[in-house]
Amino acid sequence: MAIPLLLLGASAQAAVVTEEVRYQLDGQSYLGYLAYDDSLPAPLPGVLVVHEWWGHNDYVRQRADMLAELGYAALALDMYGDGRNTEHPSEAGEFAKASLASLPLAERRFNAARDWLAAHPRVDDGRIAAIGYCYGGGVVLHMARAGAELKAVASFHGSLAPLADPLPAGSPVRIAVFNGAADPLVPAEQVAAFRQEMDAAGADYLLVDYPGALHAFTNPRADSVAAEFNMPLGYDAQADKDSWLQLQAFLHESLE
């Protein structure tokens, strides 16, 4: 399918505006980052962007900016509260574990951001998708399995194992997974089990395995982090580029 030039970020009139936003849940403040092209007529399709386990940082904001350039209203959300983030893996692991200790609370955190985006005057509340990276990839897959009000979700190098119940049969959510075939954190057995789960549910899904790609293959900082902390991470420019192009087609088909 040919992708409109707008979805390739080729609009000469692009006027992306960005802003930090705050939303609340149970008295806790959460930090969001909204990006959209205000030269485009409203309403725009919306995309939630869920951060890696490092938390709400510049990388997730960069991805929101890239989505805005494609014609979406993108909200980089906050699963930890107060925009908490870190550059040390031990602290990141603690943040991630704590945020998923109560899945009902994690779902409410995600849905608070979804509801905020859906209520924005520039957004079409019937056309909302979510994408996530690493930790965030697992989160968006969980939200699809949990029946969140989303048209589609896309996971980049995220865990594929269900956090709770598998995807129910007949789920209307379209699913895309971009995985590193050499990622030791997502072994082949997990990929095979995910395929079985999707097939059993009759899901509309795409799974792309990039040969030789490691965990965090979309993040240019992965190599330096791997060297500093001896972690099995690695940036793969080709897989990063291809997965982003495939995401564009996937979102266009899902939110048109």
CB 167 within 8 A of CB 189: no
Sequence-distant (6+) residues with CB within 8 A of 249 are 1, 3
- pLDDT over 80 at 14, yes or no: no
Topology of 18-255 in CATH?
Rossmann fold (3.40.50)
Parse the chain into domains and list their residue ranges.
Answer: 18-255
Where residue 32 falls (left for φ over 0; alpha for ψ -120 to 50; beta otherwise) is beta
- pLDDT over 80 at 9, yes or no: no
Residue 240 has which token pair?
A: 């990063």
CB 56 within 8 A of CB 62: no
For 46-93, how does the pLDDT look when each residue is reduced to its tens digit (9 = 90+)? 999 999 999 999 999 999 999 999 999 999 999 999 999 999 999 999
Read off the pLDDT of each residue in 106-127 and give the average, rounded to a whole number: 98
H-run or E-run covering 197: helix 188-201
Between strands 73-76 and 44-50, the pairing is parallel
pLDDT tier, 256 (very low <50, low <70, confident <90, very high otherwise)? confident
Between strands 174-180 and 205-210, the pairing is parallel
Provide the CB-side half-sphere exposure for 254 (13 A, CA).
28
Task: Note the pLDDT of residue 109.
Answer: 98
Please indicate, yes or no, whether the overall pTM of this predicted structure exceeds 0.85. Answer: yes
- pLDDT over 50 at 189, yes or no: yes
Read off the pLDDT of each residue in 117-131 and give the average, rounded to a whole number: 98
Q: What DSSP state is assigned to residue 3?
A: P
For 145-165, how does the pLDDT look when each residue is reduced to its tens digit (9 = 90+)? 999 999 999 999 999 999 999
The reply to whether omega before 43 is within 30° of 0 (cis) is: yes
